[in-house]
Amino acid sequence: MRKFVLCLCMVIVAAVATAQDNREPMRWQGFETNRFWDNWEISVGGGNSILQVSQKWGSDPGKFLDRNGWNANVGFTKWFAPIIGMRLQLDGGEFRNYSLDKARYGEGVFKTPYMFVHGDIMVNMSNWIGGYNPDRIYSAISYVGFGYTAMSWTKNSAGSYNGELAFSSGLLNKFRISPQWDIELDLRSWLFAEKSLPEEIRSSGRYTFALSASVGFAYRFNQRDWTPAYPAVDVEGYLAAIFALEESVVAQGAELDAAAQEIRKLSGDNKSLKSEVEMLRSRAAQPVEPVAAECVAFFNIGETQITDYARATLETYVEQVRDGSYVISVIGYADKETGSAKRNEQLSRERAQNVTAWLIASGVDASRIETSWVGDTEAAFSTPDTPIVNRCVVVK
């Protein structure tokens, strides 16, 4: 049985070490768990212990105060979160009891030494009920656990030694006196088989229990506090917003690709027309007025600023018309698939005005330019059937 308990403790420690050494934070109840060597406590204490047995009918177990023995303990506690922790504790001391069979064993006090090693699951009730507070002065911590108890290895109890599994429970009261130190009042009970006791103080019961109260100190080392983690609902909201943004970026990328293809097509048409103009100039005996092709400047959805793509098209157009004398018509459009009629009227007006201002800044005489806009009441192009082709300004 002792080998079994030892192996079980080693397995628990190895599992905890493997989980805590992972650098990725584990999240529990809104707080990040720390690494394996953080949030440890070592505690020592001592106090009183008393053994309670099932009395035989008519027997006198002695006065209560006369049966009080001493108790000492040392423990190691690891907190995995502000609420949940685990403790490994070695508890030792001495019980004092009168014989239940005085005719056989006499009326003297029997001193029964004991050792109890146990592991406990700790629950910080103060943090659970009141929320985590790093400056809390008092904390009530309940615990349950099990371990191995051994008793009666002295000469006075020769032949009655036995060791059995035992179950523990209790309430640990912690009083913080500094960030590193606590005063602890540990009220504990444990249940075990009565056959573990010396024969002199056994009754007819199968089980018995012991009570102890000890006062001591606990020291916390390495990382002591806890870092709040993002609630799951916030994380899900962030992920949903990011996913929606990615979809929007993809959709806008597709529209930009379509616009770029249209611009490349129009740029090719402009180059072809420019070649024709140059050919006509070379054939004419006298200089003739250049023939200007239409120019289209496309805009992003809901925007009126001239894009790089539109600027490239306009630059080619200005080279053809800067020195001419004929009237240039600038007409602004907006697509009716998005936005209200009022908004689209404003977009088409600002787009046309921005293109006119750009042409003037590029050297075109302002008196040659006529500027107008139609909102979404007219379509600049009927094909291809996509909204982006009507977010434009046509210059001709």
Which pLDDT belongs to residue 218?
Answer: 96
Q: Provide the pLDDT confidence category of residue 28 given band limits of 50, 70 and 90.
A: very low
> What order of strands is seen across the sheet that includes strand 392-395?
295-298, 392-395, 328-332, 369-373
pLDDT at 19 over 60: no
Torsions phi, psi for 237 (to 5 deg) = -65, -40
Q: Provide the pLDDT confidence category of residue 8 given band limits of 50, 70 and 90.
A: very low
Which pLDDT belongs to residue 293?
Answer: 61
Give the model confidence (pLDDT) of 304-358 as tens digits. Answer: 999 888 888 888 888 888 887 888 999 999 988 888 989 999 999 999 999 999 9
Which pLDDT belongs to residue 23?
Answer: 38
Q: Provide the pLDDT confidence category of residue 4 given band limits of 50, 70 and 90.
A: very low
Task: Give the residue among 101, 108, 206, 116 at the shortest CA–CA distance from 168.
Answer: 116
Least confident window among 86-95, 145-154, 322-331: 145-154
Which pLDDT belongs to residue 138?
Answer: 95
Q: Provide the pLDDT confidence category of residue 61 given band limits of 50, 70 and 90.
A: low
Which pLDDT belongs to residue 15?
Answer: 44
Residues of the chain with CATH 3.30.1330.60: 244-395
Residue 208 has which token pair?
A: 């018995």
Residue 136 has which token pair?
A: 């809390």
- Residue 204: strand, helix, or coil: coil
For residue 241, the tally of other CB atoms under 10 A from its CB is 10
Which pLDDT belongs to residue 152?
Answer: 65
Indicate the Cα dihedral angle 260, 264, 267, 272, nearest 10°.
-170
Q: What is the mean pLDDT of residues 262-276?
A: 87
d(CA 41, CA 75): 8
Average pLDDT score over the chain: 80
Residue 220 has which token pair?
A: 């916390």
Residues of the chain with CATH 2.40.160.20: 2-228
- Is residue 143 within 8 A of residue 188, CB to CB? The reply is no
Which pLDDT belongs to residue 207?
Answer: 79
Q: Provide the pLDDT confidence category of residue 18 given band limits of 50, 70 and 90.
A: very low
Q: Please give the single-letter amino acid code of residue 14.
A: A
Strand ranges inside the chain, DSSP E: 27-28, 31-32, 40-52, 69-79, 84-98, 109-124, 138-151, 162-176, 181-193, 207-221, 227-228, 295-298, 328-332, 369-373, 392-395
Task: Give the residue among 142, 121, 137, 127 at the shortest CA–CA distance from 29.
Answer: 127
Strands 207-221 and 138-151: unpaired
Q: Which residues pair with 97 in a beta bridge?
A: 110
Domain 244-395 sits in CATH 3.30.1330.60: yes
Task: Give the residue among 217, 238, 251 at the shortest CA–CA distance from 387.
Answer: 251
Q: What is the mean pLDDT of residues 56-78?
A: 75
Residue % of the chain over a pLDDT of 70:
77
Q: What is the mean pLDDT of residues 242-260?
A: 89
Q: What is the mean pLDDT of residues 186-195?
A: 87
Q: What is the mean pLDDT of residues 125-137?
A: 88
Which pLDDT belongs to residue 36?
Answer: 78
Which pLDDT belongs to residue 132?
Answer: 83
Which pLDDT belongs to residue 237?
Answer: 74
Q: What is the mean pLDDT of residues 363-367?
A: 89
pLDDT at 74 over 90: yes
Topology of the domain covering 2-228 = Porin (2.40.160)
